[in-house]
Amino acid sequence: MTARTQIIFDEGKPAFAVIPYDEYLALTINKAKKPKSKEDELVPFVLGDYIKNPIRVARVEAGLTQQELAKRLDVTQGYVSKIEGRNFEVTPALLERVSKAARQKK
């Protein structure tokens, strides 16, 4: 038996390649021995790396809209928008209040 690669076409384009089992093993063994590169590493997504305002981070992590957070804080949605702004100075007391509201059950 002569082992050769078989190409299977789908709508005129190559879709699959059937190769001899020994060649397949050689490919998988070489891939397993290959050292992982930086691109192969999984990097955890940290929301705070992308959103600078800690109040907005707390709201987004809790899965709340501005309106929902405003209702829990008993303020307007406009106020929530304001405190999530780039130039708003977030105090520790305000951040704690927002964090508690974000953790509340619906």
pLDDT at 70: 95
Neighbours of 76 (CB within 10 A): 13
All structural domains of the chain, each given as residue ranges with its CATH number in brackets, are 6-35 (no CATH), 47-103 (1.10.260.40)
**What is the per-residue pLDDT across 87-100, written as a single tens digit (0 to 9) for each?**
889 999 999 999 99
- Cβ–Cβ < 8 Å for 76, 70: yes
Tens-place pLDDT, residues 18-42: 998 888 888 887 666 656 666 667 7
The pLDDT tens digits for 56-80 are 999 999 999 999 999 999 999 999 9
pTM for the model stands at: 0.57
Name the average pLDDT for the chain.
86
